[in-house]
Amino acid sequence: MKIFGIDPGSDRTGYGCVETDGSRHRIVVCGAISAPALASFPEKLLTIHRRLAALIDSCRPDAVAIENLFHATNVRSALKLGHARGVAMLAAVEAGLPVAEYTPAEIKRAVVGYGRAEKHQVQQMVKLILGLTVLPSPHDAADALAVAICHVHSQMPKAVASAVVGRGKAATSWRHYHLARP
């Protein structure tokens, strides 16, 4: 399974694709999209959309996960972030992919185990989970990888439960799943 994660932003949008077999995760690609500083806001949105659409096309993920807006310092920045999220979702939907949204607290809880983790803690855990030798950079790329990892973790218990229930046994944890396998 391949998941494409997006950390939307009007100045810089992070992206990251993770491939997993359920137990091991590996990075496919990550980075950040930045439009020229002097570009108009509509031009920045167009750049974000085009680059994400091309990246999604080349990665061919099974789903796209996007960080959800939770709060912003002011109305103007919230609106700009909302526009960036919109063009990111549009790129995913145009590719015919399902889109999942996660709040920053859900992402941090899934990756670090604590919903109020700091950015450097998220970067460190992403590095460990993906077996990287260096921290993913910039932090927008690490955040996008964290979004993808969050989606993988939220989907795996469902897959495990259905696999085990299909054999007539109920799975209540990963440990029970491993014990229930033939």
**Predicted pLDDT of residue 180:** 43
Sheet of 25-34, strands arranged across: 25-34, 12-20, 2-7, 63-67, 99-102
Query: 7, 94, 106, 118: which one is catalytic?
Result: 7
Asked if the structure places residue 28 within a domain, the reply is yes
**Predicted pLDDT of residue 73:** 72
Asked if the structure places residue 96 within a domain, the reply is yes
Asked if the structure places residue 173 within a domain, the reply is no
Instruction: Provide block-wise average pLDDT over 10 residues at a time, the chain (182 residues).
Output: 95 96 93 94 97 98 91 81 95 98 95 92 96 94 97 75 42 41 43
The H-assigned helical ranges of the chain are 41-59, 75-94, 104-111, 119-130, 139-165, 174-180
Q: CA 92, CA 53: separation in Å to the nearest integer?
A: 7
Asked if the structure places residue 147 within a domain, the reply is yes
**Catalytic residue status for 57:** no
Asked if the structure places residue 172 within a domain, the reply is no
**Predicted pLDDT of residue 158:** 58
Query: 21, 43, 62, 67: which one is catalytic?
Result: 67
> 83, 10 in Cβ contact below 8 A?
yes
Domain that holds residue 138: 2-154
**Catalytic residue status for 101:** no
CATH, residue 82:
3.30.420.10
**Catalytic residue status for 7:** yes
Asked if the structure places residue 167 within a domain, the reply is no
Asked if the structure places residue 106 within a domain, the reply is yes
Q: CA 163, CA 161: separation in Å to the nearest integer?
A: 5
Residues forming beta bridges with residue 16, ordered by sequence position: 5, 30
Q: CA 143, CA 15: separation in Å to the nearest integer?
A: 8
Asked if the structure places residue 88 within a domain, the reply is yes
Number of domains in the chain: 1
Exposure letters 48-65 (e unless 16+ CB within 10 A, then b)? bbebbbebbeebebebbb
